[in-house]
Amino acid sequence: MSEHQPNNHKNEVVLTMVEHIQQFIEQPNSVFGNMPICPFVSKFRREGKILLKVETFYYTKEFSFDPKVLDLITEFKQDNYYEVMMVIHPNKLAFSLDEMKDFTQDLNDFIAPLGLIAFSGHPLDNFNIDGVYTRRDPFINFTLQEIEKVNLYADILKSTAYYERWSLENLEHIQR
């Protein structure tokens, strides 16, 4: 029975994140011109284009990235099917918010030459758009996407009311 606990816990983590995506990220919000926080995620999810991975990974400034993270980057880069890879840490306390921000900054520096960009989520993340905490997720996580596609989607949204309530500081996060 105990041999199934890790898989059961991983399944619970995935179900929790999918529920969060469906009930929060995919829902229309007046702050985003009555569009969802991420207008494209529902389509990606329905088409099976989001690869969800539950992994225990580590990071320290001194020792850099866990080899698991490097393997995940390689896997995502080599597989042209998925739009997004979300890597979820099953331990909500594994990283402080500052550690996760450092991880994400260093990860972006590392993967930019590969044409990728990472965003992170954390239960205590304070990033918000007009009071909507878009990166405050149930579990610590990071997502990988192709920067070219992220820029394309951002350009599409610029012709809508999506960015009207974003501050200049918020907009800096999408101008890459």
Tell me the per-residue pLDDT of 129-175, one tens digit each, with 9 for 90 and over. Answer: 999 999 999 999 999 999 999 999 999 999 999 999 998 888 876 65
- Measured between alpha carbons, how far is residue 74 from residues 71, 78, 80, 143 in Å? 5, 6, 11, 14
- Measured between alpha carbons, how far is residue 33 from residues 1, 70, 161, 162 in Å? 49, 37, 5, 5
Q: What is the pLDDT of residue 63?
A: 64
What are the phi and psi torsion angles at 163 (to 5°)? Answer: -95, 5
Instruction: Report the share of the chain in percent with pLDDT over 90.
Output: 82
pLDDT at 4 over 50: no
Range of the domain at 154: 5-173
Q: In the 8-state DSSP scheme, what is residue 7?
A: H
Name the one residue in this structure whose structure tokens are 């260093």.
Answer: 106
pLDDT at 6 over 80: no
3-class DSSP state for residue 133? coil
Higher pLDDT, 100 or 1: 100
Q: What is the pLDDT of residue 162?
A: 94
User: What is the distance in angstroms between the CA of the first residue and the CA of the last residue of the chain?
Assistant: 48
Give the torsion sign (CA, 166, 38, 74, 149): negative
Name the one residue in this structure whose structure tokens are 């992220």.
Answer: 150
pLDDT at 1 over 90: no
pLDDT at 68 over 80: yes
pLDDT at 93 over 50: yes
What are the phi and psi torsion angles at 32 (to 5°)? Answer: -110, 35
Q: Report the distance separating Cα 64 and Cα 103, nearest Å.
A: 9
Q: What is the mean pLDDT of residues 74-79?
A: 95
Number of domains in the chain: 1
pLDDT at 3 over 70: no
Q: What is the mean pLDDT of residues 43-52?
A: 97
Q: What is the pLDDT of residue 100?
A: 95
Q: What is the pLDDT of residue 5?
A: 53
Q: What is the mean pLDDT of residues 34-51?
A: 96
Q: What is the pLDDT of residue 176?
A: 45
Q: What is the pLDDT of residue 102?
A: 94
